[in-house]
Structure formats: structure tokens, C-alpha cells
Amino acid sequence: MENLPKLAIVGYGAMGRAIETLAKEQAFVISNIFDIDSKLNSAENYDFDVAIEFTAPDQVIENIKSIAKLHKNIVVGTTGWLDKLDEVRKIVSEAGIGLVYSTNFSIGMQMFFRIVRNAAALMNKTDGYDIMLNEMHHHRKKDSPSGSAKTLANIILEEVDTKTTILDDTARSQIGKEMLHLTSTRGGEIFGKHSIYIDSLADTIELKHNAKNRYGFATGALQAAKWIFAKKGIYDFSDYLELMWK
């Protein structure tokens, strides 16, 4: 029988509840749930092995610090904090724990990242095409652009020689050919929709990933929890997927 880590859920919003439901279906033991009314205390002695953290950008670093003090491993699903990645690397190293993070734990989105990379690379061998992207999320999402959109934009910059900068605001005038236009829309109950457009005078190619629900994110987060269990160091979720897809 598979040796599953005992879990703590940090952040009991819609994502936390989805993880709880799926974790129970997969026979995980959830030792603790932390939220506004039940806060994580680094001075306590908890029984979990891996914490799955889905909160908010202004909370995630303090949560990582607290969990690191407990010498527990972490899955971080919160986005909007990667500008503090060096700080988190130091926290993880000093605590001797394991941490895996991603801008999107959906396996389908991870496949989409690779599809976009391959498509973008073709533009260097083909004249007359431009590329742009749009992302849409529900009105409650706090970060904009989304972490996944930023990942997609960086993939395009890495692959398309003519694109060197990102414009993630409304274009109020003509933009330069070196600019990658990234637009965001907030409203309704959209789980997450990311669209890539490769356009020319002759035709348009559209690549889209449409998240139907939170199941994909929860599935990936639980796979990450199993993988990071008993590991040390900091990893991107793609590190695990590279091994799985070899």
C-alpha cells in the first residue's frame, strides 16, 4: 500500500475545500486545517508531514516561514509571490525542508505550457506572424495578470527572438514589435481561461486552456505532496513532471 503523507491544508477557501474532498477520496489523512479562525502557530507540535498552501500573495511568505520553523515540507499553490523566490530559497535551505511550487498545479496547464513553447519556437522560422495572449478569471482573483499568464509570457519571450518585453496593461497607442501584449479580464465565475493568438494576414492560430473546475489544480497539488514527501530542497512542479514524462 502506498505510504501517503499526512496533510495540513493552509487556507480553507474554495481551493482548500476542493483539496480536502479529493484528498479524502484518495485516502490521505488530513491532520490539520488552518484558516482565519484556526491559525498556524509555529510554536505548536503538529502531526502533519506536508502542508498544502493556497492562500493569498500577502500571506504566503509568512506561512512558508511558519511551516519551515516546524520543519515540515510544503506545496505552495498561491501565486503572485515569485519576486520573493530568492528569500524563499533561503528559508527552505536554512530549515532543511522540501518545497514545491507552481504558478499552476493543473497537469493540463503544464501540458499547455509545453505546447505553447513548441508553437512559439516555430515563429523564429516563419515570417509574418505575431503573438499575443489573454487570460480571464473570476472577479475574486487578487493577482493580475495570473501567475500562469506570466509563465506563458516568459515562455514566449524565451522562444520568440523578436519579443523582448511584456506589456501587461491596456495598449493606448501603437505598440512596438518587440512587445508581447498580455491582457487580463476579471469577472463572473470563470475558473481560468488562457488564450494564445498567433496571427498573420493569412490566418490566426488560437491555443486555449480552459479550466472547468478546481479538480485539476487539486489533483496536481496532491501529486506534488506525495512527491515532495521526505525530499529536501526547492522545486518547481515542472521538475516532477519532467521525470514523469520522460
pLDDT band at 169 (very low <50, low <70, confident <90, very high): very high
What positions carry a catalytic annotation? 137, 141
Where does the pLDDT of residue 139 fall: very low under 50, low under 70, confident under 90, or very high at 90 and above? Answer: very high
pLDDT of 187: 97
Q: Are residues 151 and 191 in the same domain?
A: yes
Say what the pLDDT of residue 131 is.
98
| Cell reading at 175 | 505598440
CA gyration radius for the chain? 19
**2 within a domain of the structure (yes/no):** no
* 202 & 240 share domain: no
Structure confidence at residue 246 as a pLDDT band (50, 70, 90)? confident
Give yes or no: residues 39 and 68 share one domain. Answer: yes
Residues 122, 198 share a domain: yes
One domain, residues 202 and 112:
yes
The span from the CA of 72 to the CA of 47, in Å, is 10
Using 50, 70 and 90 to split pLDDT, how confident is the model at 89?
very high
- Domain membership of residue 183 (yes or no) is yes
Whether residue 138 sits in one domain with residue 163: yes
Which CATH number does the domain housing residue 87 bear?
A: 3.40.50.720
If asked whether residues 112 and 99 sit together in one domain, one would say no
pLDDT at position 230 is: 86
Gap between the Cα atoms of 130 and 147, Å rounded: 22
More confident site: 36 or 174: 174
137: confidence class by pLDDT, cuts 50, 70, 90? very high
pLDDT of residue 58: 92
- Percent of the chain residues past pLDDT 70, beyond the cut: 99
> Given a cut of 90, is residue 80 above it in pLDDT?
no
Q: Which of 79, 72, 117 is nearest to 101 (CA)?
A: 79
Does residue 2 surpass a pLDDT of 80? no
**CATH number (domain holding residue 151):** 3.30.360.10
Number of domains observed in the structure of the chain: 2
Do 133 and 74 lie in a common domain? Answer: no
Which of 96, 218, 87, 79 has its CA nearest to residue 151? 79
**46 and 137 both lie in a single domain:** no
Is the residue at 75 inside a domain? yes
Which structural domain range is residue 67 located in? 7-105+214-244
Asked if 154 contacts 148 with a C-beta cutoff of 8 angstroms, the reply is no
Q: Judge if 74 and 28 occupy the same domain.
A: yes
pLDDT grade for 245, boundaries at 50, 70 and 90: confident
Query: Both 180 and 91 in a single domain?
Result: no
Query: Is residue 47 very low, low, confident or very high in pLDDT (cuts 50, 70, 90)?
Result: very high
